[in-house]
Amino acid sequence: METLKSYNPATGEVVGEVPVTPASDIPAVVARARAAQPAWEELGLEGRVDLLRKTAEIFAERAEAHGELMTKEMGKPLKEGIGEAKSLAYIDHELDEIVATLQPEVVEDKRLRSTVYHDPLGVVGAITPWNFPMSMPAWMVLPALAAGNTVVFKPSEKTPAVGALLVECFHRAGIDKHVVQALIGGPDEGKALVAHPEVDGVLFTGSAQAGIAINRKCATNPGKILALEMGGNNPIVVMKTPKVEDAALLIARSAFTTAGQRCTAARRLIVTEDMYDETVQAVKDLIPKIIVDEPFADPAPFMGCVIDNQAADQLAESFLYLLSNGGKAIRHLKRPQEDKPFVTPALIDTTAMEERPDVELFGPLLQVIKVTDLDAAIAEANNTRFGLSASLIGGAPEDYNHFWANIRAGIVNWNQPTNGASSKQPFGGLGLSGNHRPAAYYAADYCAYPVASSEIGQPRASMGVGFKTD
């Protein structure tokens, strides 16, 4: 049997080894999911939710161990890994919101009762990235299962051990092993899952390139629900504020948390000219204070490594490209260990670049752009095909209202980082960032479809115009 090994990116050590599901076996996997779906639906919303609450209890009991595994497999600091694992314990609270969304809606009139029910799609494929290998799948799998679907879950090939563990927790809670299945593999397995005609919905989080490919594959099948969350080239805008040090911390948290490996991480720092010098200096002075180290190190690091050496190489190449095409280095991106994927936070002014590449540089690389005023900042912030997250630092309430009304993003913050998201709010964007189907508990809306029903206790009808009466 072929297996997939996962490695600790900080040390190179093998973390786990998980059996691969070959693409040729996917029809059988989907068939099992299809066969299990009617019984799971007939269990009823209350019965399904009870089992999901038991799953939340298991997540809570094992949060420390799960967080350690996540830290080893993905390379984020231990505090982040445990924090993500603990967040799954709050599934219990999120289920209340999902239940409310899925309840039948009754409209009474004088003669009959009209009801809107929420029927499951059937079999749902969930494809998730490596940067949040537990919470991101939970945002997909939880509402899909609650709605009555069965789920084939494909975790990233870079975090297969965490993905397999997640599914194991659902099974330990008493959910049938065919109701939620792990599909371990790489891009070929993901493509086969998306293309399978018996998969009724595809929930995807990952790169824009992969999302576009999935969208293209499903374009001729309007009956297959497609939910895409695809990252961003996110702006953080700074205008007049007396709290420059606080602003610098918010900028650093936006750009460098999880080594910049968040889809909501700030990629572009857009600063009005009256705030440019002191803001950039404050961020420049803060960067050397950021601890970059092995995830379990003491003292605890703010940043671990990026996911692998290939990612580190790409970031180094991107920095050199910006530098050679008009960028001005403020803090160089460095690799302290050539054989390990550690990189230092980088800051580069790209104001003078004629054509800044509109791409998601997935790491701790922050571009700085100087503008004249807030309107120019908004125009520059919107100068992207993406539209996931944006944040305004500084200004008055009327400035934020102006910013909010004109910015193109699915997440808009004021005096807060661009990253960090609540599962009780919609999580998604527009343009290359998504297709208007946000994740979190809002996913319950597209994990089921509304069925309109007119109902009366006994059949009643009378002959009217057009019928003979004799």
CA distance 451 to 143: 18
Question: Which residue is catalytic, options 263, 294, 305, 380?
Answer: 263
CA-wise closest residue to 255 among 267, 238, 239: 267
Number of Cβ within 10 Å of residue 327's Cβ equals 20
CA distance 339 to 342: 9
CA distance 368 to 94: 38
Q: Is 229 a catalytic residue?
A: yes
Burial annotation 358-386 (CB, 10 A radius, 16+ → b, else e): eebbbbbbbbbbbbeebeebbebbeebeb
Helix H or strand E segment including 467: none
Burial of 453 (0-12, 13-18, 19+ CB in 10 A): exposed
Q: Is 41 a catalytic residue?
A: no
DSSP 292: B
Q: How far is CA 189 from CA 25, 76, 155, 169, 397, in A?
A: 9, 26, 11, 23, 49
Evaluated on CA atoms 169, 175, 180, 181, the torsion sign reads positive
Alpha helix positions (H), 111-207: 135-146, 160-172, 187-195
Backbone φ and ψ for 292, nearest 5 degrees, come out as -115, 115
Question: Which residue is catalytic, options 94, 157, 189, 229?
Answer: 229
DSSP 383: -
Tell me the catalytic residues: 229, 263
